[in-house]
Amino acid sequence: MYKITGTLLSEVEIKAKVKELAKRIDEDYNGEDILLVGILKGASVFVADLMREIHANVNIDFMSVSSYGNGTTSSGTVRIIKDVDVDIRGKNVLIVEDIIDSGVTLRNLVDTMQTREPKSLKLCTLLDKPHRRKANVFVDYVGFVVEDKFIVGYGIDYAEKYRNLPYIGIVEDVE
């Protein structure tokens, strides 16, 4: 049976990190407008908190994507289930993810978004699990580098459960 067996990151730790990331983002964009693109559903909580710590003018949009194939290729297509509502050409786009694991999802998404000619395209993820990386993707803003454990909470699910946990916990198969 799968159970939450521990806390990886507390609410307090997450809140401090979100503030720190927002500060870096504000400094880097230097007053320019930013289009935050949250990747559904996992990044919904993170992007909602992050946008409230950013002082620059932000617009927010969302995408829902799923990766094709066996996940072993570093280039491929990403199936867009829900696209952004706006034309991103000429805009400063900051993609906001919950967690990057193999990197296949983001790699494919970045390639797709680049063809739309934004002014700039950067990536922000709350969590980075580098151990199983298959696709080469540079992430501009990383909250926490975490171990290769299955994690939930703060928007992240296990079989659609636990997204509403205010902290990030570890899920394990226990007797």
Residue 102 binds: one of Mg ion, ligand IMP, none (C-beta under 5 to 8 A by kind): ligand IMP
d(CA 39, CA 52): 17
Among 10, 64, 83, 150, binds ligand IMP (CB under 6 A): 150
Token readout for 47 is 């992007």
Token readout for 161 is 């459960």
Told to check if 103 binds Mg ion by CB under 5 A, we report: no
Among 42, 143, 155, 169, binds ligand IMP (CB under 6 A): 42
Residues numbered 86 to 115 that lie near ligand IMP (CB under 6 A) are: 97-105
Contact 120, 92 (CB under 8 A): yes
> Cβ closer to Mg ion: 29 or 168?
168
d(CA 36, CA 88): 11
Count of residues binding ligand IMP (CB under 6 A)? 16
Q: Which position among 49, 98, 101, 128 bears the catalytic label?
A: 101
d(CA 160, CA 30): 37
Among 151, 153, 154, 165, binds ligand IMP (CB under 6 A): 151
Q: What are phi and psi of 105, to 5 degrees?
A: -60, -50
Residue 17 binds: one of ligand IMP, Mg ion, none (C-beta under 5 to 8 A by kind): none
Name the minimum Å distance from CB 19 to ligand IMP: 22
Q: Is 101 a catalytic residue?
A: yes
**34, exposed or middle or buried, with CB in 10 Å at 0-12, 13-18, 19+?**
buried
d(CA 146, CA 124): 15
CA distances from 19 to 44, 103, 114 (A): 16, 25, 28
For residues 32 to 71, the per-residue mask of contacts with Mg ion, x marking binding by CB under 5 A and - elsewhere, is ----------x-----------------------------
Q: What are phi and psi of 36, to 5 degrees?
A: -85, 130
Residues that bind ligand IMP (CB under 6 A): 42, 67, 97-105, 129, 150-152, 156
Binding residues vs Mg ion (CB under 5 A): 42
**Any idea which residues carry the catalytic annotation?**
101
